[in-house]
Amino acid sequence: MERKTCCRCGHSMPIECFHEVYYKNRGKAYRLGHCKECANQASRDNYAKYRERRLQSKKDHYSNNPWRIRLGALLARCSEGYVELNELQAMVEAAGDRCCYCGQSMNGSFTFDHALPVSLGGTNDPENLRVCCLSCNSKKGNKTEYTYRIELNGAPF
Ligand SMILES: [Zn+2]
Ligand SMILES: [Zn+2]
């Protein structure tokens, strides 16, 4: 039986204990210089070494991405319906910094509102989401879009 000595642990063992790798440009399979056990160990070491960094970058990604935070907030309030991140972004672009209810400039601090409140069966589907100012969002509370518009403008639309 063919044997090979591992370049890392120095043990001599059957050739099957070494991973076979295929290099396309060489058109031929080769056995790695280190055994499968040493390969496993290396990947475990690597995993531990980069685990912290991976966790940190994931955390940074979420904490630094206002869109994800907003989407997360919507999802936390309501599990029915589904909106994509890019749909939210498109809605804000379409709003052009104007609150959909009062028409005032939002100065960049917009919020998403459920036209039909979650408490009344509203969902996270894009058709039920509105881009509005913080003030309207809190004043509207659990009212429907229809009720709030009448209260605000004396007319539903
Ligand atoms: Zn080895
Ligand atoms: Zn408003």
Write down all domains in the chain, each with its CATH number in brackets: 3-51 (no CATH), 66-153 (3.30.40.220)
Average pLDDT over residues 121-145: 93
Lowest mean pLDDT among 26-35, 85-94, 127-136: 26-35
Does 84 score more than 90 pLDDT? no
Rg (CA), the chain: 29
Q: What is the pTM of this model?
A: 0.58
CA distance 80 to 78: 6
Three-class DSSP category at 112: strand
Q: Is the pLDDT of residue 78 over 90?
A: no
CA of 8 to the centre of ligand 1 (A): 5
**How far is the C-alpha of 100 from the C-alpha of 69, rounded, in Å?**
21
- Which ligand is located closest to the Cα atom of residue 153? 2
